[in-house]
Amino acid sequence: MTEPLLVDRTDSVVTLTLNRPTAMNALDVALKEALRDALAGLESDRSCRAVVLAGAGGSFSAGQDLREHVQTLESAGVDPLATVQAHYNPIAARLASLPKPVVAAVRGMAAGAGASLTLLADFRVGGPKTRFLMAFAGVGLAADTGASWTLPRLVGHAKAVELLMLAEPVSAEEAHRLGLLTRLVDDDEQVLPAAQELAARLAAGPTVAYGAIKRQLSVADAGTLADALAAEAQAQSICGATADHRAATTAFVNKQKPVFEGR
């Protein structure tokens, strides 16, 4: 049986690949559960210092597996959208709060919940054939997997309304202009290598500080200046006690390049 999620480790970088290429990596229960559980394991895995999220074949993910969803809709006594609470919400929460950088390699189409997954990453790398489609309204649904939170923060409220309600595809160039893509490479074959190269660079950095920066921004997005200042004070207290901070400060004073160990 083919594994729905491939997990590959190269040094301190873990690549999670959605592995249903014949279905454009549509998210069925097996894949959602595998992704949810893998992210939970990586949260406390100190040997992992950066994560790459990718899709097998020519697409990132078409979103929810609608063939499976139709069967659920036709099953008596089954909540057809229970997957939101059971799968999508935990996945979104894990991705957003993972205390290490996440890079999405967005090759080809990223639609619906597939697009939402990429928006939860800290960095998104795409190529000429990359497309985003907030497809939810096209099947009579509202946004999920955190898109109502991430999308307006990336593109602004008005553009988020447009993308979600009109459900029109966004080209790679437009996605880069809007901030849906962090980097746009010239060749689709280079999307994953470029994402892994960026992840390797991040994996060699101050992992504790990166996690603290993510928490700071999350607090600041939803809070007041006072909330942000309190989060900053807490973060600096944590980061200031790390071996990385002490070693990097000493290296700077001695005009040396710092070496971070992620602790």
Question: Please, which pLDDT band fits residue 67 given cuts at 50, 70 and 90?
Answer: confident
pLDDT at 203 exceeding the cut of 90: yes
Give the predicted TM-score (pTM) of the model.
0.94
Angle between helical axes of 157-166 and 147-155 (0-180°, round to 10): 130
Region for residue 94 given its phi and psi (left: phi exceeds 0; alpha: psi -120 to 50; beta: otherwise): alpha
Taking a C-beta distance cutoff of 8 angstroms, is the pair 172, 124 a contact? no
Percent of the chain with pLDDT over 90: 87
Question: Please, which pLDDT band fits residue 139 given cuts at 50, 70 and 90?
Answer: very high
More confident residue, 48 or 77: 48
Query: Quick one: DSSP state of residue 129?
Result: T
Q: What is the mean pLDDT of residues 37-44?
A: 95
Phi, psi of 112 (to 5 degrees): 55, -130
Q: In what order do the strands lie in the sheet with 5-10?
A: 5-10, 13-18, 50-55, 102-106, 123-126, 183-184
Give 241-252 pLDDT, tens digit per residue.
999 999 999 998
Residue 52, beta-bridge partner list: 15, 103
